[in-house]
Every structure is written in structure tokens, then in C-alpha cells.
Structure 1
Amino acid sequence: MNKHPSPNPELCILAEEGPLNIPFAAVQAYHGHGALAMLALTFQGLRGALVRLQNDGNPLPRSALSVISGHPGPGVRDAIECVTRAVTRGCYMVDRDLPAARYNKAADRSYSFQLRDATRSVHAILRPGVLPPEFFDLLGDPAPAAQQRHAELRRQIAAQVLAQTPESLYDYHVHAL
């Protein structure tokens, strides 16, 4: 598994013509700057989930993957799309009823996702406390000072998340389908 954090995390997936290494910087370039905290968290979650679905350490074909996310946000969607192309392929679904990791009392969402291939599923569940209470307190506050602080906080969280292992951020549960 991913035992040590990397200063420049990347993951590997099997694309049309072979293995494709995708660093976080590529995912951020695809997304932009908006939802950096969730982008980084989802990227790290995917790193851990992909490893758990691999056979003999071989990268998984992105064409074989589908995703159910409990969070409808753009950072989550864009990280998943950039890595798996599940949105474009019609293999991405948001299920706000996923019961795990419901940390935001003001919003109907789960901070978890399920990554599936033809035979197995990995449920990645964000651990409690990874996102600080201030993140949720500022979410949706229209005041300019709150928006500025939230943007700063999202950048800080992203940097912290990328310096950790996926296993320190998520609990993973693998199931046969």
C-alpha cells in the first residue's frame, strides 16, 4: 500500500495505450483553484482505492471503473473524472444517501465514494477530523472575509492532505460484487 507520503503524489491507471501516471498537479490543472481541499482529498482517496483493486500490482483499466460518490461537489467530480473518465463514460453517479462520513450537518452529503470494477468494490470513507470544523463553518458564508478565509483554508488543507498517505485520511473497505 502507500506507506509513505510523497511530496508530489501521483497514481497510475491503465489508459487506452498503456499505463498512465497522473500526478496531482495534472488533476489541479484540469480543475483549477476552486475546490482544492476536496480535489486533494479525492485524489488521495483514489490513490488508496486503486491500489486495493489492483491485481498483482498492475494498474487498472480506467474503462472498467465506475464510481458512486456521496459528495456532489466540483472538486470530487473533477478528481474522479480526470483519473477515471467515469463522468464522460456515464459511469459516475452521486448518491447523497450514502450513510458514511456525514460530517457536514448543514448539507446532505457523504464524504465517501465507491470505486468499482467488474468483480470488486472499494468504499473509501474519509476519517473523522480530517476536515476541521472551520471548513464547514465557512462553507457557503457569502461574506467576502469568510470567502477569502475559506479559500485560504482550502489551500492549506490541500497541502496538508497531499503530504499524508491515503491510509491516514481514509478507511477502505473492499467487497466482492
Structure 2
Amino acid sequence: MTTLEVLDHGELISFSFDDLLKYHGTSSIGGVAHGFKVLERALPILGAGQPPERYEIDVETEFPGPGARDAFEMVTRAVTGGRYRVAPHLASGDAPTAPEGRYFFRLGYRGRTVDLTLRDGYVSDEFI
């Protein structure tokens, strides 16, 4: 199973999807899955193949869902650190519409920025 790896003041820590569910609970599992997959893709890019320092990762998104927010918080502590921001109109028109906002995520770390979005049609009405 894939884990997310970050550094906490130089110490390697990892999080599984189950870890994120233990933190968030079961109310917005889909959002937790979105957050996990965004981090799974972004962390290796942001850290240039190495785990990034969690307290230096910034998160901006148009998606205000609590599951994704909690996934980002557990791994990066961005909410607590004031580095998490829901920003309407952040994305271009290409990002798919979510029930609220759009599925668009921008993560930054030490001058690197990664923009990620879901594929259009990836989230079906049944999933929501």
C-alpha cells in the first residue's frame, strides 16, 4: 500500500490512507481520497524525489471539502500553520466543477509549485 512520506524537523514520517481516515473519520471519505491522491502525486515533485519538510508545504485549493482539508492537515499541518487556503477562482476553466468549488489544488514548497486537478468525469454523481 502506498504511503505519503514527509519530514518533520528532519525526521521521516509516513502516512497511509488508513491513517488519514483515522484522523478524519468517515463523513467525507471521498474528500480524504482526493487529498491523499493529490499528496501522493505532489510530494515527490515538490521534494525533487526526496520527502519534503511538512511545515514548509503550502496548499491552495478551490475545493473546500472537509475530507481533503483534513488529509492536508494531517500530512502537512498547513491548516494549523496558516498555510492552507481555499481560494475561489484560483484555477483556469479547465478544472472540473465540484459540488462546491472546483477540483483544483496548488501546492508549494521552497519555490516549487505543483498544480493538480482531477480528470473531467472522474467523480461520478453516485460518488458524491
The alignment's TM-score, normalised by the length of structure 1, stands at 0.66
Matched residue type, 1:101 = A
Shift of 1:135: 3.5
Q: C-alpha distance in 2, partners of 1:98/1:134? A: 26
Q: C-alpha distance in 1, partners of 2:34/2:100? A: 18
Provide the aligned C-alpha RMSD in A. 1.5
8 Å Cα contact 1:52/1:122 also seen in 2 = yes
Shift of 1:54: 1.7
Match of 1:95 in 2: 87
8 Å Cα contact 1:103/1:111 also seen in 2 = yes
Match of 2:58 in 1: 66
Q: C-alpha distance in 2, partners of 1:86/1:131? A: 25
Instruction: Kindly indicate which of the two structures has a greater share of residues assigned to helix.
Output: 1
The alignment's TM-score, normalised by the length of structure 2, stands at 0.90
Larger Rg: 1
8 Å Cα contact 2:30/2:127 also seen in 1 = no
Moved beyond 4 Å, runs of 4+: none
1:126 is aligned to 2:118: yes
* Stretches of structure 2 lacking an aligned partner (at least 5 in a row): none
* Stretches of structure 1 lacking an aligned partner (at least 5 in a row): 1-7, 137-177
Shift of 1:17: 4.5
SS of residue matched to 2:121: coil
Q: C-alpha distance in 2, partners of 1:95/1:19? A: 30
SS of residue matched to 2:126: helix
Identity %: 36
Q: Which has the higher contact order (CA 8 A, sep 6+)?
A: 1
Match of 1:51 in 2: 44
Q: C-alpha distance in 2, partners of 1:17/1:64? A: 12
Shift of 1:108: 4.5
SS of residue matched to 2:114: strand
Matched residue type, 2:3 = E
Shift of 1:63: 1.4
SS of residue matched to 1:75: helix
Match of 2:22 in 1: 29
SS of residue matched to 1:80: helix
Shift of 1:9: 2.3
8 Å Cα contact 1:96/1:108 also seen in 2 = no
CA separation of 1:128/1:102 partners in 2, compared to 1, >3 Å: closer, same or farther? closer
Shift of 1:112: 1.3
